[in-house]
Copies of this chain bind each other. A is one copy, B any other.
């Protein structure tokens, strides 16, 4: 069989069963081979940033990689920002980048570019298959690389002639290295610190943001008095009633400083030592308080949950986790549709088992509080800070978890990066409800302009920060891509439309008309 056929069969044997695709001519043999391997589901995306963001969301929810099929260097370039987010999320993901035939590259045809340089900037593993006889083994290695704890982007560069030439055979999956356990000495050392009587903060990240990690961490906190925090942008945070609640470290350094204030020891479990998202004149880059010692219980690639469980047994053997009580806000029965009111509506109606893709940015500051006691759900965030991830993440969460409702909570500015994710939702009939927080502004930049100490914005500066003139009509945009949509101007309208969207199968969009900052 040809290289493309062997590649796809190797992927499905390795548990890679979805390929988010935006192919071109050099990928046509891969496309043609899909019909021979029905175990592989090809999902068409109209832009590569949708495809890569979708592969990220799939990996976060399925715990195994999706493939993403990209067309040469420019296709990879279009998908690169969301691969950056996937790299920061440590998502297992296999990017397959078609390339010109090996013998064609030296002719520098128009689409020729430095694929390797781009791939290297986001991938933990890069391989260029040289022959059709190699591609299956390369693919098996790529899948194993993607799954190597804590997970990473692996990129396989697939020349067209490697794809179309015969002489290939599928390869069996390779074993995946397990996450290394944390030495007992480390656990005992951290335990001693926790029991020293000095103020401790336990900062959770990666796998620790899932239920087993949260329960172990909560036992530690209950037994030792340590404060719990979660990294600012977790890839996947399990939360809601019956799960230990943990606040995320704030995006704004001033607020993060308050959360960490007084800590004498900062213990990292799958998280990195906190740093400011941006630099600000006169502000420190590190968020670790002066005089606070940093201890690493577990690196992101370690067995973080095992380490937390061992730590709980050591430091707090009799403690029980503190589980969040069920609690929901009421739907506000009057007043404006502020960000706070919209959050209350969402908190009131969030269904059990929901997957929330949160790219609501400034409009979303009330969401964590309003949903903290809702039925158990997963919360996916913008790990790498590159906006345009929310709609693709939601799309693929629904592909990975067909029985679960998915909610995309999306800022208007960010939505315009990858809007065609809505089309893929419509085509695939996915149960995704998108709420656009339409404040007609890059609100976060209005805030940041002040925080970086720039002079007050004049007309020319304001012109680059606001999205009015003309206003974006997301109802028209969604409808134009086959997604039924409505506009909500009051909390009551939002509640009615959200109930209906959640009750009906398939995708829906609600444009929530919220004020710029509040």
Q: Taking beta carbons and an 8 Å cutoff, which residues of A are in contact with B?
A: 21, 23-26, 28-29, 31-32, 34-35, 38, 42, 44, 46-47, 49, 73-75, 77-78, 80-81, 84, 88, 100-101, 103-104, 107-111, 113-114, 117-118, 120-122, 160-161, 164, 233, 272, 275-279, 281, 285-286, 383-386, 388, 413, 416-417, 419-420, 423, 426-427, 444-445, 448-449, 451-455, 457-461, 463-465, 467, 469-477, 479-482
Contacts and interface: CB of A to CB of B under 8 A. Distances in A.
Contacts of A477: 476-477, 480-481
Given A277-B111, A445-B28, A470-B481, A164 B386 contact: no
Contacts of A107: 275-276, 285-286
Contact of A481 (B21, B23, B472): B472
A24 B445 contact: yes
Given A118-B117, A419-B419, A480-B474, A21 B464 contact: yes
A78 B103 contact: no
Given A285-B104, A474-B480, A460 B25 contact: no
Contacts of A120: 114, 117
A121 B24 CA distance: 21
B84 A384 contact: no
A486 to B, nearest CB: 14
10 contacts: A25-B445, A42-B460, A78-B388, A100-B279, A107-B286, A110-B384, A111-B278, A160-B278, A419-B420, A472-B482
Contact of A164 (B84, B281, B383): B281
Given A107-B285, A113-B84, A120-B117, A452 B38 contact: no
Copies in the complex: 2
A81 B74 contact: yes
A507 to B, nearest CB: 10
Contact of A35 (B233, B458, B473): B458
Contacts of A463: 42, 44
A77 B74 contact: no
B25 A111 contact: no
Nearest to A100: B279
A236 to B, nearest CB: 16
A423 B49 CA distance: 20
A104 B480 contact: no
A25 to B, nearest CB: 4
A121 to B, nearest CB: 4
A461 B118 contact: no
B25 A448 contact: yes
Q: Which of A84, A278, A285, A448 has the most CB of B within 10 A?
A: A278
Given A25-B277, A103-B279, A110-B383, 12 more contacts: A21-B464, A25-B444, A26-B278, A28-B454, A31-B465, A47-B417, A78-B417, A110-B277, A111-B385, A117-B117, A427-B470, A477-B481
A101 B423 contact: no
Contact of A454 (B29, B275, B476): B29
A459 B35 contact: yes
Given A77-B84, A477-B481, A480-B476, A109 B277 contact: yes
Given A113-B121, A385-B74, A100 B34 contact: no
A276 B449 contact: no
A117 B121 contact: yes
A249 to B, nearest CB: 12
A286 B106 CA distance: 10
A165 B101 CA distance: 49
Nearest to A471: B482
A460 B113 CA distance: 29
Given A77-B77, A427-B470, A458-B35, A452 B117 contact: no
Given A384-B74, A448-B28, A460 B427 contact: no
Contacts of A104: 276, 278-279, 285
Nearest to A79: B77
Contact of A464 (B44, B233, B451): B44
Contacts of A470: 423, 426-427, 481-482
B278 A100 contact: yes
A449 B275 contact: no
Nearest to A26: B278
A49 to B, nearest CB: 7
A513 to B, nearest CB: 15
Contact of A455 (B32, B103, B111, B427): B32
A122 B113 CA distance: 8
A161 B35 contact: no
Given A384-B111, A426-B470, A470-B482, A29 B278 contact: no
B78 A49 contact: yes
